[in-house]
Chain A
Amino acid sequence: MPSLPLPSAVDLARAQFALTVVWHFLFPAFTIGLASFLAVLEGRWLFTGKAVYLDTYRYWLKVFAVAFAMGVVSGLVMSYQFGTNWSVFADRTAPILGPLLGYEVLTAFFLEAGFLGVMLFGLARVGPRLHFAATCLVALGTLTSAFWILSANSWMQTPTGHTMGADGRFAPADWWAIIVNPSFPYRFAHTVTGAYLTTAMIVGAVGALHLLRDGKNPRARAMFSMAMWMAALVAPAQLVIGDMHGANTYAHQPAKVAAMEGHFETRSGASALLFGWPDAEAGETRGALGIPGLASLYLTHDLNGTVRGLNDMPRATWPTNLPLVFWSFRVMVGLGLLMIALGLASLWLRWKGRLYDAAWFHRLAVAMGPSGLIAVTAGWTVTETGRQPFTVYGLLRTADSVSPVAAPAVAASLAAFAVVYLAVFGAGIWYLLHLFNQAPHVHEAGPPTGVPTRTAGITPAPALDAPAHGESRPALQPAE
């Protein structure tokens, strides 16, 4: 084998995991919130009988079908990647993580086989109440999936409830302690709230786009108003949840927090840095500009509290890419603050009665459309690259987790994933943007009946709708 000037197999495997997981998480980050949004829309339709909510529901249902499908397709790849690229990790952690991921698969499978088909195609047949139940179960199912995945991820950050054999393999000792490990409640709350905000930003942007074109469109008004309520109420709450998550991380993974803050020296009254460039070689953050005492305040809840710096911790436990952790954190927090500003501005405009005709505000909301997706990607970058150089924090190193697959093989698969994902999910996202560009109409049609949708899975639709085949759009009104 001629030697190629390639990065190491472990770096290539990390790059491939990063690529596939970032692509993957874009979809659940959106659909977790969208499923709940749909449940609320259908609930409001059933409760008020106003057609505007049903039309808005159908408009977003089309989007949900496509986004959910892409989430499952990209998720299929993830379930094999632990074995193809991280086989030592898989062998050692499977007694703990296997059942958690197994429950995730069973939940997703059950949800997929059971209720998504009804939700996408069954309204005409099963009636509004049962259909609403299906929508709620899909929303609950996405949250249950998130529960198991985040439990597994959190265990990798803060492992508890296990024993470790001489051969480095983990064994379960206490399932409750494994599932509800110390960082799990915070990570779950922070991630689900982030997903809700991601959805709010996208729904708000689409609503704002159509308000700019036609300020009277009641469906655009409804979705915009609901998205802005979400931003106004949940974005500030996320700041509090994020702060609690950060304090939890500081207790369990101080090196990660030191990297996020760019703190090398342990000191009291530590600054929160706004800018700078952490330099691991020099052991300092260059060009640092910060607010004195603020980091001590939010990490120790005392202006003069002592905050530990990286120089106090063994070099072998430092995250491997300090600037990435540092800057991803600032991107996430910066966007979060912008969302809070957007939410507060919406409250002001609502109070002034100008929410639906402040064009500048609608343009701002359109620009903020992708902010949630960027923020959750940045947040995951913080927590995952901040966990380095470990896969299971403090116990199993990334370099010791990788499969014995030669670097050229990993380089080839990485290139193939990059090209195919860009083509396939690029086409999918293009199609979503095309859907966003369509105005939400009266008598919105919903997903095209009978067109097979991946992971709508086994959709009983066309046969269920059989009596209505003559009419392309079964007339559906709330209980008259």
Chain B
Amino acid sequence: MTDLATRPAPAPVVEKTRSSKERWVRRAPLLPALIFAIIVTQLPFLVTLYLSTQGWNALRPGQREFVGLDNYVTVLTDTRLRAALMNTVLLTAGAVIFSLILGLVLAILLDRKFLGRGIVRTLLITPFLVMPIAAALLWKHAIYNPTYGLINGLFGGSTDWVSSYPKAAVIATLVWQWTPFMMLILLAGLQSQSHEVIEAARVDGANAWQIFRRMTIPHLRQYLELGALLGSIYLVNTFDAVFTITQGGPGTATTNLPYEIYLTMFRKFEYGEASAAGVIVVILTIIVATFALRVISGLFKVEANR
């Protein structure tokens, strides 16, 4: 009891005694950004929710009616959409995993001192800086093209890379662009390792592989997770590469959700269905994002404790 009585007043009480005017003064700098974000991103989403309950094809003006969850039923039973969902998972996972592996290898290479390290790092981040649509066009026409593309030009053969291996062609382009991103995150992770501890392990007789497996990889785990999750957030939205390299084809081999929703909106003009598909994408993203937030806040704790 005495313990409770002598405990100093907790901080939140102090916060509450602050006058409401002062609280608003504190909030004032935050409000413009907050209001802007709510108006431009949240209100449209509420409208999307509403539109998803409407049977509305823009080609039949005037015929708009409440259809309840029909659009969701249509969308979820539609084989095209299921294919798009699968393709999204495959393209995103493929691009994230391969760019993470390559990024890790390159980060390890760059973590050593050698002549011209700064230049090599600049070279390696360059693919990430090329405009995505320009990169997609470049790969499609200058690299994959069966007659004058670079691959067939250097190694012979007349393979039409895009139509023979559409998914791999899209993934390779994405991997090329996103490996630098992964490399930078993992390099930051490697460089935050304590050199004394590693030196101590080496003195104790640990070989390079043991150090890598037992010390570096556990240390990098959070950075790998962060790279995977941020990469997924960006790559789930992949539109440029699909639009340019394959147009979602052949058939629906590379149609991912963003591209499918785009087609539903601007080719079929099924606004209701497109909205329902959009809502489903948001729900899926929220699931992924929940994990992402957990990892990111974990990483912030690590940074704060250092």
Query: Are A and B part of the same complex?
Result: no
Interface set of A (CB-CB < 8 Å, partner B) = none
